[in-house]
Chains A and B, each alone.
Chain A
Amino acid sequence: MKTKSLLLAGIAASTLSGAALAAPVAKEDMVLVVSVINTTNPYMISNIEGGKALSEELGIPLEIVNSNGSSQTEIAGIMSILASGKTPIMFVNTVASSDAPTIVDAVKQAGGYVTIWWNKPADYKPQDVGDNFVAFQKIPGLSSGACGAKAIAESIGGKGNVVLLPGVPDSTTSKTRVAGFRAEIEANWPDIKILDERPSNWDPQLGARNAQDLIVKYGDQINGVWSADDGMQIGAMQSFENAGLLDKVKFASDGLYPKTLEDIQSGRGNNAIVGETFHRGYMASAVGLYTAYLAATGEIVPSELSDDKRESLFQLSCVTPGNYQQYLQYDEPGAPAAFVDRLVQNGPWATDPMPLVGGGRADASEW
């Protein structure tokens, strides 16, 4: 009954031009929800870890929605949790941009609070929806591509040929990373030529196959290989190793997977990996959930926040063989709990290594 009246209050409040506010939700009425695209990708597994750590820290139960790569499964899973009667505090790693409005509407109806990560339609803004859509957050893909481009270009002396392995061609994440790579080369490296680009769907095996075909096509003309994530890079490196070319080619990518870290540490292939980026799934989910939690408790009022806190870009770190050591601490056992401790102390926008760095621009989802 109490939940129901809160729910009604929530709906009433949001219809009152968004200025009036729902009463703060009590902790025992909340449930944390982490919705991920699948449970096999290391990044998604890490998203879940972040949810678990925050759940322990705040003493609020956690529910996981595994979308299994399907928007339908994702929405059905979220709906069933919304029907449970508790107030959902949600982090959603959307399967497709177009899922965001449907999910947000349902959460709003249920009086919950949601933060969307990575994908949403560009013109669908939290500011226009109201306080229940607390924020859209992401790490800028453009910076990721730029990190990789700079690292490869420097390592081959500013001159040579590179090939690119993007992810799923129509994913915003892949598109922005590729755009960042191309922009950096165009702006600063006139003697670097992009020979070819073969989307490899985030799949290590497809990355390996495409790399084999590119080796046959260009042979030793290839000086650098950039992949939109480490999974595809792992496949590509294996192909270059098989072809006896690993020692002569430089690689850069995104994610700093444990396997990649190992290869940097061991100097595999004459220090083949020259650039990486660092961000962890547990940080994204913890920041997303905690932002929504603060809105639910009334500690922040989303409609009073500045635009960059509604459509937010968080810092991405460029990693090189020279500085990778400083990121090892974030993969140690207990690292998610330690991050969550600092998150609760410093708030969602000022926690290292992922502070807020920008956002609020009209095209934040295209960054």
Chain B
Amino acid sequence: MVNHLLSRESKGPTGLILAVVALMVVFSFLNPRFASVENLQNVLFQSSVPLIIVVGATLVILMGSIDLSVQGVMGAAGMAWILITPNTRTGLDYGVWAWVIALGTGVALGLFAGLIYERLKVPSFVATLGTWYVGLGIGIMLYGNGLLPSLTNEALARWPTRLTLGIPNSFWLAGAVVVVGLVIMNYTRFGRGLLAIGNNEAIARSSGISVSRYKIMALAIAGGLSALAGILATMQLGSGSSDIGSTQLFTVIPAAVIGGTALSGGEGGVLRSSLGVFLLVILNNGLVLAGVDPDYQQGVFGLILILAIVTVAWPHRNRLKVAK
């Protein structure tokens, strides 16, 4: 099954796995604490939010579109969730309905973007960019000028870090999302349909795939997952903010591309994008542990990243989609 999945993920991500392992070995030499159980748990914890987002982003990218609304949806859903979960500002507790409403907000924003994209034939870049700001606007409106809302329920605030079988709960959640994403991509008509659309929309259409419905569904799922990520990030921070998603977009899209998911669509997959997330998180974490001077950290980060990607992509350089 694993082999099958790897081969399905376009040429197999072996090079990428090797790059991640090589980084881990180097960082372990630079600081033995890097390989400690504590730090591996830390890396898994930090990967959780971007992993959840990258699954949705990959579905959208595979069909040759893009979802830029991530941070806005996270802000709207995160604020919606915390304001109706025991918190220091409102005193409301909707229990499980808080999740339904927050996730529903994300799905609705995704549908909104999808309908504009598909029905009004606006490029996904523009439709989701607009949705980003609509989401951020909702987040800011909910945030208002009042007190920063913080979780008052200790159990909820601690849930993401608490360990189950040695692994942080937040990673179990992210892992489950990745597995579901893999299954959808590889074993459902919907998943294959998205790939077909990314490869050649005209052929996909003529072979009877309901392109329009698939596109809207993919954006709605991505919206739902961004919302889930927004809730998890809010729980991790213990406080709500309309900026809860800040900088995530520029972790997730590069992670997908680094993993080998082509922005032109039709190539790559959830597993590869997830490895891209690990590569970025480990690189950041390792540089801090290795004690790289903060003034140089960004520069060193970029150089190592380019080196890793060139090495991984070298055997496939003739087939890279980005030629210019």
Q: Which residue of A lies closest to B288 (CB)?
A: A213
Q: Cα distance A42–B188 when bound, in Å? A: 46
Interchain CB contact under 8 A, B291 and A238: no
Q: Nearest chain B CB to A256's CB is how many angstroms away? A: 12
With contacts A209-B46, A212-B46, A235-B237 taken as known, whether A217 is within 8 angstroms of B243 at the C-beta atoms is no
User: Are the C-beta atoms of A204 and B288 separated by less than 8 Å?
Assistant: no
> In this complex, what residue of B is CB-closest to A204?
B237
Known: A45-B145, A169-B295, A212-B45. A203 touches B246 (CB 8 A): yes
The answer to whether A206 touches B247, judged by C-beta atoms less than 8 angstroms apart, is: yes
Q: How far does the Cβ of B275 sit from chain A's closest Cβ, in whole Å?
A: 20
Chain B residues with CB under 8 Å of A234's CB are 148, 237-239
Q: Are A258 and B31 in contact (CB under 8 A)?
A: no
Question: Are B42's CB and A216's CB within 8 A?
Answer: yes
B108 CB to nearest A CB, Å: 22
Complex Cα distance, B317 from A305, in Å, reads 67
- Of the listed stretches B32-40, B109-117, B197-205, chain A binds B32-40
Return the chain B residue nearest A41 by Cβ.
B243
**B88 (CB) vs chain A CBs: closest residue:** A262
B105 interfacial contact with A, CB 8 Å = no
Contact with A along B249-293 (1 / 0, CB 8 A): 000000000000000000000000000000000001100110100
Which residues of chain B come closer than 8 Å to A258, judged between CB atoms?
147-148
Q: How many residues in A have their beta carbons less than 8 Å from beta carbons of B?
A: 33
Q: What residue in chain B is nearest A241 (Cβ atoms)?
A: B238
Contact check, A199 vs B294: say whether CB atoms are below 8 A apart: yes
* Cα separation A210 to B294 with both chains bound (whole Å): 11
Is A217 in contact with B294, judged by CB distance below 8 angstroms?
no
Q: Is A17 an interface residue (CB 8 A)?
A: no
With A169-B294, A213-B42: A242-B239 Cβ-Cβ less than 8 Å: no
Chain A residues with Cβ below 8 Å from B237 are 204-205, 208, 234-235, 238
Q: Indicate whether A40 sits within 8 Å of B242 (C-beta atoms), given known contacts A217-B288, A217-B289, A238-B236.
A: yes
Would you call B291 and A196 a contact (CB within 8 A)?
yes
| Chain B residues whose CB sits within 8 angstroms of the CB of A217 once the complex forms | 31, 33, 288-289, 291
Whether A42 contacts B42 by the Cβ 8 Å rule is no
Q: Hey, which chain B residues are within 8 Å of A257, CB to CB?
A: 148
A216 and B39 contacting across the interface, CB-CB below 8 Å: yes
Q: Is A49 an interface residue (CB 8 A)?
A: yes
Verify if A27 is at the interface (C-beta below 8 Å from B).
no
Nearest chain B CB to A234 CB, angstrom units: 6
Chain B residues with Cβ under 8 A from A214's Cβ?
288
Provide the B41-54 mask, 1 if CB < 8 A to any CB of A, else 0: 01001100000000
Query: Within residues 233 to 269 of chain A, which ones have a CB less than 8 A from any CB in chain B?
Result: 234-235, 238, 241-242, 257-259, 262
A-chain residues with CB within 8 Å of residue B284 when the two chains form the complex:
209, 213
Q: A204 to B246, alpha carbons, bound, how many Å?
A: 10
**B28 proximal to A (CB < 8 A):** no
Give the A-B pair count, Cβ closer than 8 A.
81
**Given that A40-B243, A196-B291, A234-B237 are known contacts, is A216 also in contact with B140, CB under 8 Å in the complex?**
no
Q: Is B241 an interface residue (CB 8 A)?
A: yes
Per-residue CB contact flags for chain B residues 180-211 toward chain A (1 = under 8 Å, else 0) read 00000000000000000000000000000000
Task: Judge if A39 is at the interface, Cβ distance under 8 Å.
Answer: yes
Are A198 and B145 in contact, with the CB atoms below 8 A?
no
- Contact: A208 with B148, CB < 8 Å? no
Task: Name the A residues within 8 Å of B226 (CB-CB).
Answer: none
In the complex, what distance in Å separates the CA atom of A217 from the CA atom of B285? 10
Which residues does chain B contribute within 8 Å of A235, judged by CB atoms?
Answer: 237
B217 within 8 A of A: no
Q: Fill in one digit per residue for A178-221: 1 if any B CB lies within 8 Å of its CB, else 0.
A: 00000000000000000011110001111011101111110000
A204: chain B residues at CB < 8 Å are 237, 239, 241
* Contact, CB under 8 Å: A203 / B247: yes
Asked if B161 and A198 sit within 8 Å, CB to CB, the answer is: no
Flag if B140 contacts A259 (CB, 8 Å).
no
| The one of A39, A205, A210 that contacts B233, using a Cβ cutoff of 8 Å | A205
Q: Determine whether the beta carbon of B294 is less than 8 Å from that of A198.
A: yes
Q: Is the Cβ of B289 less than 8 Å from the Cβ of A40? A: no
Q: Is the CB of B148 within 8 A of A42?
A: yes
Question: Which residue in chain B gives the minimum CB-CB distance to A205?
Answer: B237
The answer to the question of B316 belonging to the interface, with a C-beta cut-off of 8 Å to chain A, is no
Binding site for B on A (CB under 8 A): 39-40, 42, 45, 49, 166, 169, 196-199, 203-206, 208-210, 212-217, 234-235, 238, 241-242, 257-259, 262
Can you list 28 A-B contacts (CB < 8 A)?
A: A40-B140, A40-B143, A40-B241, A40-B243, A42-B148, A45-B145, A166-B294, A169-B294, A196-B291, A197-B294, A205-B247, A213-B42, A213-B288, A213-B289, A216-B33, A234-B238, A235-B237, A238-B237, A238-B238, A242-B158, A242-B161, A257-B148, A259-B88, A259-B147, A259-B148, A259-B239, A262-B88, A262-B150
* Among all A-B residue pairs, the 10 with the closest Cβ atoms: A213-B288, A242-B161, A216-B39, A259-B148, A258-B147, A238-B238, A217-B289, A212-B42, A45-B145, A216-B42
